[in-house]
Amino acid sequence: SLDSTDSVISTGSTGNTGGSSRPFRVVLLGARGVGKTAIASIFAGAADSMDSDECELYGDEVCEQTITVDGEKATVTLVDNWDSEDEGGSSQDQCIQTGDAYLLVYSITDRSSFLQASELRISLRQHRPAHHTPIILVGNKCDLVRRREVSVNGEIRGTEGRACAAVFDCKFIETSAAMQHNVWPAFHGIVQQLRLRRDTKEN
Ligand code: GDP
């Protein structure tokens, strides 16, 4: 469905603005142990806007926060319940279907988590073929340089990190939740993509 105006009119499940209507729903996906919870707790712990110094928690797995991106406020609901759902079960399917945007996380120290991220990307495409759903491929634990198993540019294999993101038509960022490096840029990036999609009315 298309928004008829640039306003805050909400159209169905995806036509929101993250502004004064319902929040953007951003879902963390990825293998167990890659750092999803660590990333979520950075989001929960430090609002960067003056009037939002507390995260509203709905249980441990969902956190709502108003952040300022490019001078404009956006309310984001971050969902981190992937690991608690049954593998391949209906609630994981639901998880994949209900996000406005996804952070697809792997660990640069764990090649199998990178392969799982690729599989998840394929599942996302299958479940939401008609949507231009914003996705950022997030290579976490980039502080662990000596344990790196997935390169950034893939000069040898041509299929790593950035190249994979290009193939999958999504953005790419490396983060370190442990060092608090690049985690906020990832959240800001996803909000920017959501706005871009809203503004180009590509629902
Ligand atoms: P989840 O299963 O994806 O939610 O992963 P967790 O957030 O529970 O993290 C798994 C483990 O990796 C924990 O021991 C974290 O402390 C650790 N971890 C998470 N992010 C990083 C990171 O960026 N660097 C390092 N060195 N360790 C991390």
Query: What pLDDT is attached to residue 130?
Result: 67
Handedness of CA 149, 152, 154, 158 (dihedral sign): positive
Buried b (16+ CB within 10 A) or exposed e, 91-108: ebeebbeebbbbbbbbbb
Q: At which residue do the structure tokens 């198993």 appear?
A: 149
| 82 CA → ligand 1 middle, Å | 15
| Phi-psi domain of 110 (left: phi exceeds 0; alpha: psi -120 through 50; beta: other) | beta
Query: What type of residue is 41?
Result: S
Question: Strand pairing partners for 174?
Answer: 139
Buried b (16+ CB within 10 A) or exposed e, 160-195: bbbbbbeebebbbbbbbbeeeebbbebbbbbbbbbb
- Ligand 1 atom closest to the CA of 83, numbered from 1: 2
| 180 CA → ligand 1 middle, Å | 12
| 141 CA → ligand 1 middle, Å | 7
* Minimum CA distance residue for ligand 1 atom 6: 35
Query: What pLDDT is attached to residue 72?
Result: 95
Q: Provide Rg for the chain, Cα atoms.
A: 16
Three-point CA angle 197, 199, 201, nearest 5°: 65
Query: What pLDDT is attached to residue 163?
Result: 79
Query: What pLDDT is attached to residue 83?
Result: 81
Would you say the CB of residue 45 lies under 6 angstroms from ligand 1?
Answer: no
What pLDDT tens digit does each residue of the chain (203 aa) get? 444 433 343 334 444 555 556 899 999 999 999 999 999 999 998 544 444 445 555 556 889 999 999 999 999 999 998 887 667 667 777 788 889 999 999 999 999 999 999 999 988 888 877 668 899 999 999 999 999 998 877 554 445 788 778 777 788 999 999 999 999 999 999 999 999 888 776 44
Specify whether the CB–CB gap between 18 and 191 falls below 8 A: yes
DSSP 8-state class, residue 129: T
Q: Is the pTM of this model over 0.90?
A: no
Would you say the CB of residue 28 lies under 6 angstroms from ligand 1?
Answer: no
Would you say the CB of residue 176 lies under 6 angstroms from ligand 1?
Answer: yes
Would you say the CB of residue 25 lies under 6 angstroms from ligand 1?
Answer: no
Token couple for 169: 């038509």
Q: At which residue do the structure tokens 């996803």 appear?
A: 190
Query: What pLDDT is attached to residue 148?
Result: 92
* Minimum CA distance residue for ligand 1 atom 9: 35
Would you say the CB of residue 61 lies under 6 angstroms from ligand 1?
Answer: no
